[in-house]
Structure 1
Amino acid sequence: MGEIYSFKAFQSKKEKKKVQDPRTTVAIYRSVVYYVHLYSEETYEHPLEHLTTNIQLAAIFNNDRAAFLDALAALIQHWDLPLNTHQELPPYEELAQFITLGDLCLYIEKKVKDL
């Protein structure tokens, strides 16, 4: 005789696995702020109070693409993302793609979810 499966129960279990721990979002934000502060020319005594998700990355890095790429590489290494993660970005347009700190946070969060 066959077994009866509840597809709604199966679906709800699957959806629960997809739900990300909210602490991960906070950890991503804190790591992005840390590495942006580390590689930018702007210095703040308490960067978590000054670097919000609306702040412009080009202004923080003074349009220095190399410093931004160093911060991005450090974030990729910090989160153990594949090393070719940043190669999907259009060359020389990284600061145009990541306008705000929040955009960078969302990008890292998406990559972490894909793991």
Structure 2
Amino acid sequence: MELLYAACVGLLVFCGVFLILRARTFPIVLGLTMFSYAVNLFLFASGRLSINKAAVLGYSADYADPLPQAFVLTAIVIGFAMTAFVVILAIRGRADLGTDHVDGEKTSQDKKVNV
């Protein structure tokens, strides 16, 4: 189970980095989101993967560590807010520059089609 979990985290990191290296803003936003999901899974795994253990102390003799769960919940909320902020910045940049390239230059395909 740990190998599958690590493979999923690695795949999310790979896809996130690949999308971050693209030249348009929307794939960069998706890449940052996938990268944050990978970090969230990594933080969650830092509390050890445990099955059939209580998340709160006092319900059983064995319990899962609640601190990584709280970190992940906080990271999800912050990640959602930052994603919304970056999307608004991308929309504003597209409106101001007329293109969604991160360097602001239009390609030959963008010059042919006035969007």
TM-score, normalisation: structure 1? 0.28
Q: Which has the higher contact order (CA 8 A, sep 6+)?
A: 1
Larger Rg: 2
TM-score, normalisation: structure 2? 0.28
